[in-house]
Amino acid sequence: MKIFGHKPTVTAWIGIVIVGIFVLAAIFAPWIAPYDEADSVSATWSPASADFWLGTDNIGRDLLTRVIYGARTTIGVALITTILSFLLGTTAGLLAAVSSRAVDQLMSRVVDVMLSIPLLVFALMILSMFGSSLFTLVLTIAVLDSTRVFRLARSVAMNVVVLEYVEAARLRGEGLPWIIRREILPNILPPMISEFGLRFCFNFLFVAGLSFLGLGIQPPLADWGGMVRDNSRAIGFGMPAPIWPALAIALMTIGVNLIVDWILSINARPSGASAEM
């Protein structure tokens, strides 16, 4: 089986399997979870049993159910955030690359100012002022993360803009939208696809981190970062309740990174004439 025209390596398959399991759990959560995500079904921090495979949390909710529903919430928010940040950042980066020097400098300096403020501090300030609704959370992280995407999109697009076929398109009288869509965008896709995986990982961990601090996804929605925070006191009693969501965060991060490493290795391979030398 080939993906992107290449056979996945063993490590890539491990990543695909890990991510696939979590994605399926997120999609089919209402059908595979044994209980509702907000139902208290037993005593606080009950041990693992036939009824509760991973035990229960700080208010008696089934941890397996919460982990399954947490996949839907945490992965879904991170994915939507990453898609939005790429739409914003890539669009702005391409416009900066093909526009006049004055426009490019203005957009770049605005991004530099935003990048000069630590991301976590910036996010905490905005979320403290406007609240932690899902809409505010997604929009805040997407806008802040789009500055990183802007830098990469502008950098790789600047290398393409000066090539002969782009100049030929300009001389033919093609407009900027056509040049961006047909000449530049297809030629910057490989590094942007790799960056998408990396940015997803970052946003995924960032969402979980904000939830751990109490400013991310709010109860009663299940989310892995919030589950670690809610059950952190169980460690003092020798109970593994916070380990399961933390393990889910780690596995998802590892799985995505294994896939991204494989994609990066494909993009790094020589092709065409250089491959024959």
pLDDT in tens, 156-165: 988 888 788 7
* Separation of CA 193 from chain center: 12
- Report pLDDT for 277: 34
Q: Which helix (H) or strand (E) holds 112?
A: helix 101-116
Q: How far, in Å, CA of 237 to CA of 178, rounded?
A: 63
Q: What's this model's pTM, rounded to 2 decimal places? A: 0.87
**Cβ contact 194:267 at 8 Å:** yes
Distance CA 5, CA 124 (A): 42
22-80 pLDDT per residue, tens: 999 999 999 999 998 888 888 888 888 888 899 888 888 999 999 999 999 999 999 99
Question: Residues 121-176: pLDDT tens digits?
Answer: 888 888 888 887 888 989 999 999 999 999 999 999 888 887 887 778 777 777 77
Query: How confident is the model over 76-101, as pLDDT tens digits?
Result: 999 999 999 999 999 999 998 888 88
Helix, strand, or coil here: 260?
Answer: helix
91 CA to centre of own chain:
18
Pairwise CA distance, residues 69 & 58, whole Å: 17
